[in-house]
Each structure stands twice: as structure tokens, then as C-alpha cells.
């Protein structure tokens, strides 16, 4: 499309850092969502200066720029919805500093989440946000989407662990916001940029808090014969003033699928399991584990099992973290939803999800962060069957609408991206969009960064035209 741009990018980065052949570009058309978007050029910068130069070149040729980490996102945030330059941070993957005394780390955006925790381990520290994809997702991606994970129940999501950022603005200017210490001076720009899905600036360096590893951890598996009992237990644990480090739920159908594949020890005939983890001082953990057991028993748990050792604990978590992979064996594709409800509405919401499944003809599995009401219903479908795909999308939208009806949110940790931009008017008024638009334009006035995300297309940048067929516009040499 842009031989001049390809030439200049190649001059800047070298041949092995610029992809522009269709067969190469196809690899970057996907992320872990059901969306697609083909970039025209893919580049791999290694320095902040590169990023700044790339953005300037893209501006010169008037093509958009989209940042991407490992492409594990679930809302299409890292897809080139309108083509353009995809800027992949995979080679900006250095941990610049681990500061144990102040419990901070400074990293480049391409550092894999798990790698940071591993590097901090010798100091008894770790990086708390732990999305299911933690072994491949990057911290830059976590920052863009404000990623969560099972352990965010007690420790908060990505934004609670980021204190400073280095950014490249759409005009190529390099800016630093926040600082290494905890306090915000001036407006909380760091808080605004985290979770802005790459629509305001590109993040090139991140300062994060590291957390101290707890002295004791106890992992419990509570087995239930009814989903309602499991859900009621979650509500009651909170009411008893217990904040578990994690509180995850798998429904019966899902846990059977997982068990077939992982052999984590989930009872095949149960209706639901709760995976609950309590952490802290040994004395506190013992009391909390006893209280959790008592609550589950009061709600007719068939069995509450305490992981005896690390191996058993890891096996239980393996069952949870690899659940999406296990479900992948059942259908050509699956759609992982992300909705949030007030946790007291869990039982009724799960019933409603089953009704919606029946209505649209899908088996919908549920695996989710029960403790904070963050649901991940999974719809299995065959993308080759256009009608089925359409029905799957309808069922999904119906579930998300119900989450909003009961006072929840459109997305808890996956982001709006392309996936939910058209659902945003269910939450926000015209006045809300106007203000968000003005904030967007304050940083990204010509919509050159990650266009077509967050905002509904009708309320987005005027000049955006979304390709109907992702592959279409790439029909060039």
C-alpha cells in the first residue's frame, strides 16, 4: 500500500523488523477474540526512540498505528481495525530494574507478565495481576487493557499496581507521567492512561509495584450439588468479612470438560466447584480457611477439600487456568465473554445465562472470578457456520445486557476494544461520549492511534471507515 512508508520504516529498523508481505501479515490479523483486522505493515521497535520515529512516519503517510503485545487480548484491542502500521512490542522485552527495597520494577512493555514475577522471586516479591494468559501476555498489554486475573480480588487490577509510565504521543513526543513513589502530584495521568486501550498514547516503559509473597497460602476446593449453593456461598463469604485472595467458580459442565483434559481432581458428577484461596499470616490463614469451610458446609457443600501441598494446589490452579484450552477441544471455536455483576446477583444471573443458552441453542459454560462478580460465560460455536456465529453473538449480547440490567458493567477485565464498542451506548449517554471524545482528542486528535476502539463507530472519529472484509484491503503485491 505504502512502498514509501515500508522503505522508510525498513531504513529505520532494518529488514528483519518490518513485515509487509500478505502471508506474514495474516499472522497479525487475529488476537484471542473473535474479531479480525489486517495490518498493512508490522514493525518491531527495540527502543522508545524507534516508537517515536515510527509514529512520526505513520503520521507523515497518514496511516494509523496500533500497539500490540502478545496478541492474547480478548476484545480485539490489538487488532488493526482500519489497517495501518501495527507496532509489536515483542522485542522491547527487557526488565530495566528490580528495586527490592522500594518494591518496584521498571519494565519495557513487551516483558511477559510471568517473567516479571519470576525475576522478582529471589526477593520474595511478585507482580500481583495474573491474567489466565500470564505465561504469554505482556505487561504493556496488561496496562493497555487494565487486565485483571483471579488474584485481583484481594490485590486489585493492573491500574492498582502501576505508578509511572513513559509514553509516546501520536505526534511522536515522549512524555513521562507518574513517579516511582506512591503519590500522585497533579492529575492522575497514569490512572487515565492505564486501561485506555492504546487510544491515547503508546506505552514504552512501565513502573510497577511488586508485592511481598504471603507467608502462608491455603487453597480450598468446595464441591456443590447445586450452582445456587455455590453462588450463595460466595455471597456469604463476603458477608463474613473474609476477603479471599481468589474465589473462582466452575460450573458442572465446564468442570467435567476440564477434568477430562487436565485431571485436576474435580468430581465429575458435581454441579459446581469453588476454588478459594486465602493468604497471609499463618495464624490468619488457618482461621480464614476454617471460616470458608464453615460457610460452604452451611450451604450444603458436598465436600470441602484443602490442598495438602504445593503440587495439589498447582494442579487445582492448572484446572482453572487451562480451562479455556480444555473447552477448545469441544468446538472449533469458543467465545469467552466478560461481564460483571454485583456479586449478590450471582445465582439469578447464572440461571438467566442457562435460559439464554437454551433459547439460542448453545451449551454455555461458566468459569469466572466469582469473588468480584466477574463472569466469563463461554459460548462454543463453529465460525464456519455463519448463521451459528451470528446466533452466538446474539446470545452473548443478551448476556451482557442482562449484566447491565442487574447493575453490572460491560466489561470487567477484557476491555471494550472492537468487541463491545457498539454496546457502549447501553452504558454511556451522549454527554458521556462527548467528554470521553474530548479527552481522547486532547491526546489523539487525528485518531491516528488505535482507531475504531472503545467508541461506537457512529461516535468515533469522523474519517474512520472500517473494512467490511478484513482480508480485502490487503489485495496488493
Partner 1 sequence: MTAISTNFAARLESLIGPSRISTDAAARACYAVDEFLPTAVARPTSAEEVAEIVRFAALEKLALIPCGNRTKLRIGAPPSCYDIALDLTGLHEIVHYDPGDLTLSADAGTPLAKLNALLVDHKQFLPLLVPWYSLSTIGGTIASGIDSPLRQFYGTARDFLIGAEFVDGSGHLCKSGGRVVKNVTGYDLHKLLIGSLGTLAVITRLNFRTFPAPIAGSRGFVASFPDAEGALALRRAIASSSLTPLTLDIASPELAQIFAKRTPATPETAVFAGENRAADQSSLQPIGDWFNPREWQLCAAFAGTTEVLDRYARELTLLAEKSRATSTAILGDATRPAVWGRLRESLAMLLETSPATVIFKISVLPGHHAALFTNLQHIAERATLPSALVARAGGTIYFALLPASVNEDTTARLSQSIARIFDFVFASCGHASLLFAPPALKERTSLRSQQLVAPASSRLPANSRAELIPGVAQMRRLKSAFDPQNIFAPGRFAGGI
Contacting partner 1 within 218-277 (CB under 8 A): 235, 238-239, 241-243
Spatial distance between the Cα atoms of 83 and 444, rounded to a whole number of angstroms: 17
Q: How far is the CB of 294 from partner 1 (least distance, A)?
A: 14
**Residue 62 C-beta: closest distance to partner 1, Å:** 22
Q: Rule CB under 8 A: choose which of 54, 57, 157, 364 binds partner 1.
A: 157
| Ramachandran assignment for 216, one of left (phi > 0), alpha (psi -120 to 50 degrees), beta (any other) | beta
Among 69, 131, 408, 451, binds partner 1 (CB under 8 A): 408
* Alpha carbon distances (Å) from 449 to 55, 85, 201, 440, 443: 9, 10, 7, 10, 10
Q: Which listed range, 26-34, 42-50, 353-361, 370-378, lies at the site for partner 1 (CB under 8 A)?
A: 370-378
Window of 26-34, 100-108, 218-226, 381-389 that interacts with partner 1 by CB under 8 A: 100-108
Residue 121 has what DSSP assignment? G
Quick one: 361 or 407, whose CB is closer to partner 1? 407
Nearer to partner 1, 331 or 457 (CB): 457
Beta bridge partners of 273: 223, 250
In whole angstroms, the minimum distance from the beta carbon of 430 to partner 1 comes to 9
Are 67 and 78 in contact by the 8 Å Cβ rule? The answer is: yes
DSSP single-letter state for residue 123: G
Q: 51 by DSSP, 3-state: which?
A: helix
Query: Is 97 near partner 1 (CB under 8 A)?
Result: no
Member of 16, 23, 122, 187 binding partner 1 (CB under 8 A):
187
**By CB under 8 A, residue 118 contacts partner 1:** no
Binding to partner 1, residues 196-215 (CB under 8 A) = 196, 212, 214-215
Among 178, 252, 267, 451, binds partner 1 (CB under 8 A): 178
Position 131 contacts partner 1 (CB under 8 A): no
Of 46 and 374, the one with the shorter C-beta distance to partner 1 is 374
Burial of 456 (0-12, 13-18, 19+ CB in 10 A): middle
Q: Is 376 in the site for partner 1 (CB under 8 A)?
A: no
Binding test (CB under 8 A) with partner 1, winner from 7, 118, 180, 476: 180
* Pairwise CA distance, residues 375 & 346, whole Å: 9
C-alpha closest to that of 51 among 140, 138, 172: 172
Q: Does 441 bind partner 1 (CB under 8 A)?
A: yes
Binding to partner 1 (CB under 8 A): which residues in 309-328? none
Q: Does 160 bind partner 1 (CB under 8 A)?
A: yes
To the nearest 10 degrees (0 to 180), the angle between helices 310-321 and 252-262 is 120
**Distance (Å, rounded) from C-alpha 377 to C-alpha 74?**
13
Q: Can you read off the three cell numbers belonging to residue 172?
A: 511522536
Stretch that binds partner 1, among 52-60, 194-202, 382-390, 459-467 (CB under 8 A): 194-202
Dihedral-angle region of residue 415 (phi above 0 means left; psi in -120 to 50 means alpha; beta otherwise): left
Nearer to partner 1, 343 or 352 (CB): 343
| Residues 274/237, Cβ–Cβ less than 8 Å | no
Residues in the chain: 477
Nearest to 32 by CA among 398, 457, 469, 417: 417
- Per DSSP, 28 falls in state G
Q: Which CB atom, from 9 or from 370, has the smaller least distance to partner 1?
A: 370
Picking from 399, 463, 447, 444, the residue whose alpha carbon sits closest to that of residue 426 is: 399
Identify the residue among 56, 91, 135, 176 touching partner 1 (CB under 8 A): 176
Q: How far is CA 387 from CA 57, 342, 401, in A?
A: 42, 33, 21
Q: Pick the piece of the chain touching partner 1 (CB under 8 A) from 49-57, 189-197, 321-329, 352-360.
A: 189-197
Near partner 1 in 20-79, by CB under 8 A: none
Single residue of 47, 102, 358, 394 touching partner 1 by CB under 8 A:
102
7 binds partner 1 (CB under 8 A): no
C-alpha cell at 57: 512516519
362/378 Cα distance (integer angstroms): 10
Q: Is 405 in the site for partner 1 (CB under 8 A)?
A: no
- Contact pick of 24, 121, 434, 463 for partner 1 (by CB under 8 A): 434
Residue whose CB is less far from partner 1, 29 or 419: 419
Size of the site for partner 1 (CB under 8 A): 82
Can you read off the three cell numbers belonging to residue 368?
469466572
To partner 1, the closest distance from the beta carbon of 370 in angstroms equals 12
Contact pick of 6, 54, 194, 336 for partner 1 (by CB under 8 A): 194
For the chain, the straight-line distance linking the first and the last C-alpha, in angstroms and rounded, comes to 9
- In sequence order, the 6+-apart residues with CB closer than 8 A to the CB of 184 are 178, 190, 191
Grid cell digits, residue 276: 478459594
Considering only residues 51, 128, 447, 454, which one is a binding residue for partner 1 as defined by CB under 8 A?
A: 454
Min separation Cβ 391 and partner 1, Å: 25
Does 121 sit near partner 1 (CB under 8 A)?
no
Q: Which residue, 40 or 197, is less far from partner 1 as judged by CB?
A: 197
Amino acid at each position: 500500500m505504502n512502498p514509501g512508508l515500508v522503505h522508510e520504516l525498513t531504513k529505520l529498523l532494518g529488514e528483519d523488523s518490518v513485515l509487509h508481505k500478505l502471508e506474514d501479515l495474516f499472522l497479525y490479523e487475529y488476537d484471542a477474540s473473535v474479531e479480525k483486522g489486517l495490518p498493512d505493515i508490522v514493525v518491531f521497535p527495540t527502543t522508545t526512540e524507534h516508537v517515536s520515529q515510527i509514529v512520526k512516519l505513520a503520521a507523515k503517510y497518514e496511516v494509523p498505528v496500533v500497539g500490540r503485545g502478545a496478541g492474547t487480548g480478548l476484545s480485539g484491542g490489538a487488532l488493526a481495525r482500519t489497517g495501518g502500521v501495527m507496532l509489536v512490542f515483542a522485542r522491547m522485552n527487557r526488565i530495566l530494574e528490580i528495586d527490592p527495597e522500594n518494591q518496584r520494577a521498571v519494565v519495557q512493555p513487551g516483558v511477559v507478565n510471568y517473567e516479571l514475577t519470576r525475576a522478582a522471586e529471589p526477593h520474595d516479591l511478585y507482580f500481583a495481576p495474573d491474567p489466565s494468559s500470564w505465561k504469554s501476555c505482556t505487561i504493556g498489554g496488561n496496562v493497555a487493557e487494565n487486565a485483571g486475573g483471579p488474584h485481583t480480588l484481594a490485590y486489585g487490577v493492573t491500574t492498582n499496581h502501576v505508578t509511572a509510565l513513559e509514553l509516546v504521543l501520536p505526534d511522536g513526543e515522549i512524555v513521562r507521567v507518574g513517579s516511582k513513589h506512591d503519590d500522585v502530584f497533579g492529575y492522575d495521568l497514569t490512572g487515565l492512561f492505564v486501561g485506555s486501550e492504546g487510544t491515547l498514547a503508546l506505552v514504552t516503559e512501565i513502573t510497577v509495584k511488586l508485592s511481598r509473597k504471603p507467608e502462608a497460602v491455603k487453597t480450598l476446593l468446595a464441591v456443590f450439588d447445586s450452582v445456587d449453593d455455590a453462588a450463595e456461598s460466595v455471597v456469604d463469604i463476603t458477608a463474613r468479612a473474609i476477603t479471599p485472595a481468589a474465589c473462582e467458580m466452575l460450573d458442572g459442565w465446564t468442570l467435567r470438560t476440564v477434568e477430562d483434559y487436565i485431571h485436576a481432581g474435580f468430581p465429575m458428577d458435581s454441579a459446581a466447584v469453588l476454588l478459594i484461596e486465602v493468604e497471609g499470616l499463618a495464624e490468619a490463614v488457618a482461621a480464614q480457611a476454617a471460616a470458608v469451610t464453615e460457610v460452604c458446609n452451611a450451604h450444603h457443600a458436598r465436600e470441602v477439600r484443602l490442598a495438602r501441598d504445593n503440587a495439589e494446589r498447582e494442579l487445582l490452579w492448572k484446572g482453572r487456568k487451562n480451562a479455556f484450552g480444555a473447552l477448545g477441544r469441544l468446538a472449533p471455536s469458543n467465545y469467552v465473554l466478560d461481564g460483571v455483576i454485583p456479586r449478590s446477583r450471582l445465582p439469578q444471573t447464572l440461571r438467566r445465562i442457562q435460559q439464554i443458552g437454551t433459547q439460542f441453542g448453545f451449551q454455555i459454560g461458566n468459569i469466572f472470578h466469582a469473588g468480584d462478580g466477574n463472569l466469563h460465560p463461554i459460548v462454543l460455536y463453529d465460525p464456519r457456520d455463519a448463521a451459528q456465529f451470528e446466533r452466538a453473538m446474539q446470545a452473548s449480547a443478551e448476556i451482557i445486557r442482562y449484566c447491565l440490567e442487574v447493575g453490572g458493567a460491560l466489561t470487567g477485565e477484557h476491555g471494550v476494544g472492537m468487541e463491545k464498542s457498539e454496546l457502549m451506548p447501553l452504558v454511556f449517554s451522549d454527554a458521556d461520549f462527548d467528554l470521553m471524545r474530548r479527552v481522547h482528542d486532547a491526546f489523539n486528535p487525528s485518531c491516528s492511534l488505535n482507531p475504531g476502539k472503545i467508541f461506537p463507530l457512529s461516535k468515533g472519529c469522523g474519517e474512520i471507515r472500517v473494512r467490511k472484509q478484513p482480508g480485502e484491503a490487503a489485495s496488493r503485491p
